[in-house]
Amino acid sequence: MKLKMPKNMKDVNSMAGQFLLTLFATTLSIVLTFGVAAIIDHNKKEAEKREIVLMLMYDMQSTLKMMDECDSCLNSFFDKQVEILAHPETFGAERIELTQYIPSVDYSITTENIFRSSIETINTISNIIFVEKVSAFYDRRSVYKREVLDEFINTACRAIESYEGLAAFEETARFPFLSQAYHKILMELYEQCKELMDVSEDELQAFADQKNRLFDAAVDSVRNAKVIQAAAENQERITCLKEALEKGKSNHN
């Protein structure tokens, strides 16, 4: 079988042009396909990175708010202690109010555990200085809880059992000072993290609002489920009561 040869150079140029055009179109298609996929993957990773950063910043912000509340409790406890010690006869009546000023630690360590236990999370952030600052924040927070809050709570709970115990609790003045010192350190780390990742207060507030909406929706869902369950259980009790009444009437007759 003989190959059909092009009749002239014009045909050769035309075939070459078509081949190059096809090759270019194929190459462009491949580049666009992989390029778009790479862009989508990059944007996804950036979104995940931002979500993790905001999650950590929100946790740090929540800790600082909790510390503000604890500072207020520590100062109020000290003021009330001074007042009671000056009037021993009020100890019995005022002792209950003292318990209200013993701070409670209500921050969650879930975010910290995720941060510390997942190398993938740290790799996603891809900013070693930010990671170090966050780690330092959690380290200081742990010390604050142990050396300030836990020690104060344990000592205060024993001290308020008697007037003598309250009088012997002479270290109450230093706890607000220690708490404020730790608050200053943690606030500095928080502000440094915000600057490193260019996180604005508006962005953080939007994240907090979204988180709260999701939490409220979850709470409402659980509450509604419990209401439905309670209604069903109540209907079962009514049915059971009616059956017992019918049975009682039959036995009586």
| pLDDT for residue 253 | 59
For residue 62, tell me if it sits in a domain.
yes
- List the domain range (segments joined by +) for residue 90: 50-198
In this prediction, residue 173 carries a pLDDT of 85
Pair 165, 158: CB distance under 8 Å: yes
Q: Is residue 24 part of a domain?
A: no
Residue 251: inside a domain, yes or no?
Answer: no
pLDDT of residue 217: 47
Q: Using DSSP, how many helices (H) and how many strands (E) does the chain show?
A: 9, 0
Judge whether 39 lies within some domain: no
The total of structural domains in the chain comes to: 1
* Rounded-to-10 torsion of CA 205, 200, 197, 192: -100
- For every one of its 253 residues, what pLDDT tens digit does the chain have, with 9 covering 90 and above? 454 555 555 555 666 667 667 766 677 667 666 555 556 554 567 678 889 999 999 999 999 999 999 999 999 999 999 999 999 999 988 888 999 999 987 778 888 988 888 788 888 888 899 999 999 999 999 999 999 999 999 999 999 999 999 999 988 889 999 999 999 999 999 999 999 999 998 999 999 888 777 654 444 444 445 556 655 666 677 677 667 767 766 765 5
pTM reported for the whole predicted model: 0.67
Residue 225 lies in a domain: no
**Domain presence at residue 228:** no
Q: What is the pLDDT of residue 218?
A: 45
Domain annotation covers residue 188: yes
C-beta separation of 101 from 77 below 8 A: yes
**pLDDT recorded at residue 139:** 95
Residue 247 within any structural domain of the chain: no
